[in-house]
Amino acid sequence: MLTTHPDVRREGSIERFSLKPLMSLTDLVIIRFAAATCAALIPLGGWAASVASAPYGTTRQGQQVTQYTLSNSRGVTMNCITYGGVVTRLDVPDRRGHRADIVLGFGSLADYEKYNGKIHFGGLIGRYANRIADGRFELEGHTWKLPVNEPPNTLHGGPHGFDEKVWSVVRTFQGAQGAGVQLRYVSPDGENGFPGTLTVDVTYTLTDDNEVRIDYRAKTDKPTVVNLTNHSYFNLAGEGSGSVEGQLIMIAASSYTPVRPDSIPTGELASVENTPLDLRALTPIGARLRSSFQQMRYAHGYDHNWKLNKNGQRNGEPTFAARVYDPSSGRVLDVYTTQPGLQFYAGNGLDGGVTGTSGAAYRQTDGFALEAGHFPDSPNHATFPSTELKPGDEYHEVTVWKIGVR
């Protein structure tokens, strides 16, 4: 159960967010702008939460891939596939009850195989989401060398990461808690240079409270480093609808990790105050996208890690991290997480070279990613939250996407 939800207060012409105690699960989809009250997501039927499966194709190596469709009683459906644990669709009603897919993706397994090693649409990222400097880190007195796939660094676990593997299905379930599927991938000792056999379980659950809950769990037989996330790109107006620059974002963070020109953190924490990275109030994504601020120039826009404030966190429950609101459709996406950081990426690398689910070519700012996780290059920064996992311990992180309308 989520513990807190964001509230909004107005200071002059600026809307500021704070966290207040949770009164009920219904309150989580209430969005208040000054005196305006936002309603919960419009129910579109009375069917129970359910899960269904269907063949999705065969990989180039001859592995069978299955698609799972999770549905709730309020008109939300989510599709994921065993290839990469990819979330291929997330269909959500708008304020008028019209449904649209709000995640970017491809229409075929062949396209996921061809492009997802670079674009990562909807995939489960590991062993180490984000970047590791120079493809190396030290652990227990030993230097581990990783393959470099974003020279001179390793990105998202290196080439052929977790989002290019076929995951097994441990179980599916449906009931009062929602509908879900538990996926597993066993990464062998030494895969992409990482030590230890790592057993990873990721569970997707779609609830009747219009939450997509992602539980990440992992165990190892040798000391290793782990950082898992999901790399879905969102467009709340609907996949293929064009730029997200007019959608509004806020991130509950007062500081971020500045980077070098190659997007590796310098190791310091810096205040967002008086920078384009101050997103503590709802701000159009495009308002500062072309700023001359050096950090924005390094990343060609937004591609940074924010240190989440984690106000009110208790008992390891996910707390509020970010909100995005689309004025045109009324859709709202709230992100809650147990993770310490959030990477906001505005699709800077999309250049029209790939065609999405609806047949539209994806270009810069046609989608955004909110990757909850640990900080980039944490194994090389002793002051960052540790990503080390030892035998006998369990890695467990949770991220929740809360869907609503205004």
Binding residues: 130-131, 231-233, 303
Q: Which of 228, 210, 216 is nearest to 332 (CA)?
A: 210
Which whole-number Å values give the CA distances from 117 to 38, 191, 195, in the listed order? 39, 16, 22
User: Residue 312 forms beta bridges with which residues?
Assistant: none
What is the sign, positive or negative, of the torsion defined by CA atoms of 298, 259, 347, 163? Answer: positive
Q: Which backbone phi and psi does 299 adopt, to 5 degrees?
A: -95, 0
Q: Which of 5, 120, 156, 231 is catalytic?
A: 231
381-387 LR contacts (CB < 8 Å, sep 24+)? 381/265, 381/267, 383/267, 384/257, 384/265, 384/267, 385/340, 385/341, 387/128, 387/225, 387/226, 387/227
In the chain the first and final C-alpha atoms are separated, in Å, by 22
Cα distance between residue 156 and residue 158, in whole Å: 6
Q: Is 371 labeled as catalytic in the residue annotation?
A: yes
Q: Which residues belong to the annotated binding site for beta-D-galactose?
A: 130-131, 231-233, 303
Which whole-number Å values give the CA distances from 391 to 192, 377, 394, in the listed order? 19, 22, 8
3-class DSSP assignment, residue 273: coil
Q: Is 388 labeled as catalytic in the residue annotation?
A: no
Cβ atoms 365, 395 nearer than 8 A: no
- Dmax (CA) for the chain in angstroms is 61
4-11 LR contacts (CB < 8 Å, sep 24+)? 4/311, 4/312, 4/319, 4/320, 5/30, 5/320, 5/334, 6/250, 6/252, 6/320, 6/323, 6/334, 7/32, 8/32, 8/33, 8/34, 10/34
Cis peptide before 152 (omega within 30 of 0): yes
Q: Which of 304, 371, 374, 397 is catalytic?
A: 371
Active site members? 231, 371
